[in-house]
């Protein structure tokens, strides 16, 4: 936790009056380029959070894209008009801001999903957590914060280059690589086979096929431990849920997604934003059963068929099961009542 004056090497967030945010690392003698001139880092270092800094005046030619100058060839005013004098508030970025702005190779998890993983996974200080799929380190940094120095995080990342990105982002956030983080590269099953049995309190899987990793996941998780899987598509979600049920080693999985929408508030003019963060992924949550015990299952209604594909039925089978497939959620008694009510309402039209 950093407090006090801003120091060289820190990440800082600059926010203008329009709400546009720029996150950059401040260094002695450095500068941050904006649409409205340069922010000199020496004007920021040594000050506290909450100050306002003003961009220096410069010619537009200093801002022209050096790689593609031809794009501005027909715009002579860009090199003639001076810019600068734009104000930015200076703050240390929140963890959510840092995650969204950090350099990344793989797609990161959004803060809304990360928050739900920590809450639904019940990930707290002192827990031992196993994570598969570091990506760019967004989830890893949040897990490290959640378990703290009294806990531990073991992350398994298949690609060494992604592991390097995740490690660098975490190092920049903390100022050094966290001592309570064990980052390993390799295939999940191979690496997990070398981990102690029933050692981890929580497991977080962010990968393409988590249903194929349940054997090793159950071996290393403690009885009662929570498994959370982040999955992006409905087909993946369905396969994961059915695999958890079929194994008998996990409680009935819960599935959810979180949608995020911000609002505009200006006096009495209050309305939601036209754009929102909709579907990003599903969270599948289940808990590990003890060795020798099978998970309890909800008894399914005999008439409820959720497995048979109607296209694979013969014409006779389709005709015989048509009523169950289409009307399985309504009883004959209720249907008769609905028809009576509709007949009465139609009769009222004639009257």
**Residue 171, H or E segment:** helix 160-174
Closest CA to 197 of 214, 217, 183, 182: 217
Directed axis angle between helix 138-147 and helix 111-120, to 10°? 40
Q: What CA–CA distance (Å, rounded) separates 321 from 334?
A: 19
Q: What CA–CA distance (Å, rounded) separates 127 from 261?
A: 32
**Cβ(154)–Cβ(129) under 8 Å?**
yes
**Residue 205, H or E segment:** strand 200-205
Was 317 annotated as part of a binding site? no
Was 209 annotated as part of a binding site? no
Q: What CA–CA distance (Å, rounded) separates 189 from 174?
A: 30
Was 122 annotated as part of a binding site? no
Closest CA to 227 of 153, 122, 318, 106: 122
| 74: Cβ contacts below 8 Å, ≥ 6 apart | none
Question: 277 to each of 124, 176, 256, 281, how far by Cα in Å?
Answer: 27, 32, 15, 11
**Cβ(101)–Cβ(32) under 8 Å?**
no
Binding-site residues, in ranges, read 157, 182, 206
**Binding site listing for S-adenosyl-L-methionine:** 157, 182, 206
């Amino acid at each position: 936790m950093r407090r006090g004056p801003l120091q060289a090497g820190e990440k800082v967030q600059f926010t203008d009056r329009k709400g546009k945010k720029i996150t950059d690392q401040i260094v002695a003698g450095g500068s941050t380029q904006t649409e409205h001139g340069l922010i000199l880092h020496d004007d920021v270092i040594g000050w506290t959070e909450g100050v306002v800094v003003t961009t220096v005046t410069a010619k537009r030619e200093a801002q022209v894209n050096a790689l593609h100058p031809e794009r501005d060839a027909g715009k002579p005013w860009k090199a003639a008009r001076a810019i600068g004098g734009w104000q930015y508030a200076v703050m240390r970025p929140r963890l959510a801001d840092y995650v969204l702005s950090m350099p990344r190779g793989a797609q990161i998890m959004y803060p809304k999903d990360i928050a739900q993983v920590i809450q639904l996974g019940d990930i707290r200080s002192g827990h031992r957590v196993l994570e598969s799929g570091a990506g760019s380190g967004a989830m890893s940094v949040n897990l490290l914060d959640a378990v703290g120095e009294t806990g531990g995080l073991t992350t398994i990342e298949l690609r060494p280059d992604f592991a390097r990105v995740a490690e660098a982002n975490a190092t920049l956030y903390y100022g050094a690589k966290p001592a309570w983080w064990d980052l390993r590269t390799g295939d999940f099953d191979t690496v997990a086979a070398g981990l102690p049995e029933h050692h981890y309190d929580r497991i977080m899987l962010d990968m393409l096929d988590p249903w194929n990793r349940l054997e090793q996941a159950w071996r290393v998780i403690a009885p009662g431990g929570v498994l959370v899987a982040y999955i992006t598509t409905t087909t993946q979600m369905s396969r994961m849920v059915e695999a958890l049920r079929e194994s008998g080693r996990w409680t009935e999985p819960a599935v959810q997604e979180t949608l995020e929408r911000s609002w505009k508030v200006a006096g009495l003019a209050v309305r939601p934003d036209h754009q929102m963060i909709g579907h990003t992924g599903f969270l599948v949550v289940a808990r590990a059963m003890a060795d020798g015990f099978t998970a309890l299952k909800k008894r399914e209604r005999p008439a409820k068929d959720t497995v048979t594909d109607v296209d694979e039925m013969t014409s006779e089978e389709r005709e015989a099961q048509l009523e169950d497939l289409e009307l399985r959620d309504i009883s004959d008694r209720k249907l008769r009542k609905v028809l009576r009510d509709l007949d009465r309402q139609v009769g009222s039209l004639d009257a």
